[in-house]
Structure 1
Amino acid sequence: MKMLLRAGCVVLLSATFLACSNSKQNKGDAYFNKGKYEEAVGEYSETLKFNPNDVTSLYNRGRAFEEQGQYDSALNDFEKAMQIDPNNFQILLSIANIHYLNKEYSKSLLFANRAEEISGAPATASFMKGRALHQLGNTLDAMKAYNNAIKLDKDFAQAYFNRGMLKVATNKKRGGCEDFQLANGLEYPGAKEALEKYCK
């Protein structure tokens, strides 16, 4: 289940930034899109030799490191990118995600909060804020953050699922089952199993 949740967030994080890369695709992007992350790192590193402040290459190399489980290297690239572009919510969310994966929930919350405050931030920012608050045991604020994520994106299956888990954990089984049903309708992996486990 943890792997499913991680995978969902990674997909959310990667889609936006890669789509914003330069119109002429870097060879690293082609490798990344094929799942050849080690080769992608090599190509992004070549680009960075000539332009060490290329935010897109730093970010994408960080994502390639992250896909390989090299979280320290990923965090290093994301932090360098953030120094160049401190108001880029995608970079802030990626840093939040690395801290979350490292079980550093307070740090994850800090960066998710920063991302959420930026104009135009996606629903993912509120979701990641909720996820960190959930782990820190702040159920009331976690619920508010999940609610906001869903308000911003009515089709955010993972937010419904996580909100359902939070409701079940706080003895609001009926509401949790409704959220699992919504997540299942949006084909979120694990929602069907949650329905069978908690809602029979």
Structure 2
Amino acid sequence: MQKTFVVVLLALIIFSCKDERSELGDKYFKKGDYAKAVEAYTEYLKLEPAHVKSLYNRGRAYEELGQSEKAVADFKKVLSEDPMNANAYMSLASDFYYRQNDYENTVFYVDKSLKYDENNASAYTLKGKAFQKLGQLDQALTAYNDALSVDKQYADAYLSRGLLNVVKKRRSQACSDFKMAKSLGASNSDQVLKKYCN
């Protein structure tokens, strides 16, 4: 009986320590101390190497530190453990492929993300931006409209669609989108309004 109690107590202590290391990583991340967050997540992952949340969060911390190769490795490990993880697909799309000007892979990974989270306005907006960079303007417009059908208050979609309307020489629609973006607090909305709508 005593032996069983000791084993249970030891198991509880071990699991408690593991949870504390993961939570410690979260605390460091929230404080912006990404190097310490990486250390804490790495320690936790030694005990639980397939813990999806810690892998993903360590990847985000690596991103913040500018260590994109390590971030990508963590996101891909997340997907090997959880192939339906919409956040990992979006992180690959936005924080890696889009920044690398690889717009085809951006669209590919956004579509993977949307398969598991179809109500993500930022994903549709990113898809629109990638299509716009590829010169596929009709697909870009569809993606921006999809973003706004999911969230009518998503300022970045209005701003992005407004810039697309400028390219398509639809000035009144562009200005309407810029005004809506401004009313929703989009950064740069004053700048584009002055540039295109005065």
CA distance in 2, matches of 1:104, 1:190: 25
Counting aligned pairs with the same residue, the percent is 38
Alignment pair present for 1:80 and 2:71? no
Q: CA deviation at 1:120?
A: 4.6
SS, match of residue 187 in structure 2: coil
User: Letter of the aligned partner of 1:170 in structure 2?
Assistant: K
User: Tell me, which stretches of 5 or more residues in structure 2 are unaligned?
Assistant: 1-18
Aligned to 1:5: none
- Of 168, 171, 174 in structure 2, the residue corresponding to residue 170 of structure 1 is 168
Equivalenced residue count is 178
CA distance in 2, matches of 1:44, 1:95: 20
Aligned to 1:55: 52
Q: Given that residues 115 and 121 in structure 1 are in contact (C-alpha distance below 8 angstroms), is that contact kept between their aligned partners in structure 2?
A: no
Aligned to 2:99: 101
CA distance in 2, matches of 1:184, 1:25: 39
Structure 1 length-normalised TM: 0.84
User: Letter of the aligned partner of 1:191 in structure 2?
Assistant: S
1:24-63 superposed Cα distances (whole Å, 9 cap, x missing partner): 9711111111111111111111111111101101111111
CA distance in 2, matches of 1:129, 1:120: 13
Aligned to 1:195: 193
User: Tell me, which stretches of 5 or more residues in structure 1 are unaligned?
Assistant: 1-21
Aligned to 1:135: 133
User: Letter of the aligned partner of 2:66 in structure 1?
Assistant: G
CA distance in 2, matches of 1:56, 1:29: 10
Q: Which runs of structure 1 show a deviation greater than 3 angstroms over 4 or more consecutive aligned residues?
A: none
* RMSD value, Cα: 1.6
Alignment pair present for 1:117 and 2:115? yes
Aligned to 2:25: 28
Q: Given that residues 89 and 121 in structure 1 are in contact (C-alpha distance below 8 angstroms), is that contact kept between their aligned partners in structure 2?
A: no
